[in-house]
C-alpha cells in the first residue's frame, strides 16, 4: 500500500506538468535567451560557454528576466511518455490512484504524437535532439541536432507507447531510429572495432 501522502504529492506534480503542457526549462538552455540572441556575443564561443554556465550554476533562476521561454525538450517528452506508460500498467492492474486506463491511454497517445512531431528532420531515420543550442569546451551543437542519447530515450518511449496502444506508427517510428544510428552517426575506429559518435556533427 502506497502512502497516501506520496500519492497526493505525485498527483499534484502530475497535474502541474499537465497544466504546463509538459514544457519547462533545462539547466543548459541559456542560449535560448532572446536577449543573448540579439547580441553579437552569440557568435563567440567563450561567451556562449560562459552564458550557459552562468544559468546552470546560478542559485537564482533568471530565465524569465532574460526571456528564456519554457519549451518541449524531446528527451523530456520521451521520459514523460515512458512514465505515463508505467502509470497505465498500474491502472491496468486495477489500481486507479494515478488515473484510469482510459485517461492514461489518452495521455500516452497525446505524448506519443507530440514526440513524433518533435523529430529532427533530414536524417535516415527517426531521431531527436534538444530544443536549445549547446556549447561545451570542444564543440557547438545547434538546437535540434540529433544525438544518440536523446534518440535512444525517445525510441524506447515509443516502444512503450506501442505496447499500450497497439498503434503501429509508434513501433515503426521507433524501429526507424536504427537507420539514424547506422547511417547518420560517424564511426570512430577503436582497435579492431569502432565507436558510434554522439551526434552526426562529431
- Chain-centroid distance, C-alpha 46: 26
Model confidence at 185: pLDDT above 90:
yes
Output the nine-digit C-alpha cell for 31.
542560449
pLDDT, tens only, 90-126: 999 999 999 999 999 999 999 999 999 999 999 999 9
Model confidence at 135, pLDDT cuts 50, 70, 90, reads very high
Architecture of domain 73-202: Alpha/alpha barrel (1.50)
User: What's the mean pLDDT when you consider all of the chain?
Assistant: 96
- Chain-centroid distance, C-alpha 128: 8
Report the pLDDT value the prediction gives residue 58, as an integer from 0 to 100.
92
- Rounded to an integer, the average pLDDT of 12-37 is 97
For residues 162 and 202, the model is more confident at 162
Which of 30-67 are b and which e, b meaning 16 or more Cβ less than 10 Å from the residue's Cβ?
A: bbbbeebeeeeeeeeeebbbebbeebeeeeeeebeebe
Task: Name the segment(s) of the chain with CATH classification 1.50.10.20.
Answer: 73-202
Report the pLDDT value the prediction gives residue 14, as an integer from 0 to 100.
98
- Rounded to an integer, the average pLDDT of 27-51 is 96
Across the chain, how many H-helices and E-strands are there? 7, 4
For residues 190 and 154, the model is more confident at 154
Residue with cell 498527483: 11
Model confidence at 1: pLDDT above 90:
no
Report the pLDDT value the prediction gives residue 138, as an integer from 0 to 100.
85
Report the pLDDT value the prediction gives residue 190, as an integer from 0 to 100.
87
39-to-16, 33, 35, 44, 187 alpha-carbon distances in Å: 34, 10, 7, 10, 37
Residue 189 pairs with which residues in a beta bridge? 194
Amino acid at each position: 500500500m502506497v502512502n497516501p501522502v506520496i500519492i497526493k504529492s505525485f498527483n499534484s506534480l502530475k497535474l502541474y506538468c499537465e497544466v504546463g503542457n509538459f514544457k519547462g526549462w533545462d539547466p543548459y538552455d541559456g542560449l535560448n535567451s532572446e536577449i543573448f540572441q540579439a547580441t553579437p556575443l552569440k557568435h563567440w564561443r567563450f561567451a556562449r560557454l560562459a552564458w550557459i554556465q552562468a544559468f546552470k550554476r546560478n542559485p537564482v533562476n533568471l530565465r524569465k528576466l532574460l526571456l528564456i521561454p519554457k519549451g518541449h525538450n524531446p528527451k523530456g517528452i520521451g521520459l514523460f511518455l515512458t512514465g505515463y506508460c508505467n502509470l497505465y500498467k498500474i491502472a491496468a492492474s486495477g489500481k486507479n490512484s494515478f488515473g484510469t486506463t482510459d485517461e492514461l491511454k489518452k495521455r500516452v497517445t497525446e505524448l506519443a504524437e507530440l514526440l513524433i512531431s518533435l523529430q529532427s528532420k533530414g536524417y535516415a531515420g527517426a531521431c531527436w535532439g534538444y530544443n536549445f543550442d549547446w556549447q561545451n569546451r570542444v564543440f557547438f551543437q545547434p538546437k535540434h541536432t540529433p544525438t544518440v542519447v536523446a534518440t535512444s530515450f525517445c525510441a524506447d518511449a515509443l516502444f512503450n507507447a506501442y505496447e499500450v496502444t497497439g498503434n503501429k506508427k509508434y513501433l515503426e517510428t521507433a524501429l526507424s531510429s536504427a537507420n539514424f544510428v547506422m547511417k547518420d552517426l560517424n564511426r570512430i575506429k577503436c582497435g579492431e572495432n569502432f565507436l558510434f559518435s554522439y551526434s552526426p556533427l562529431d
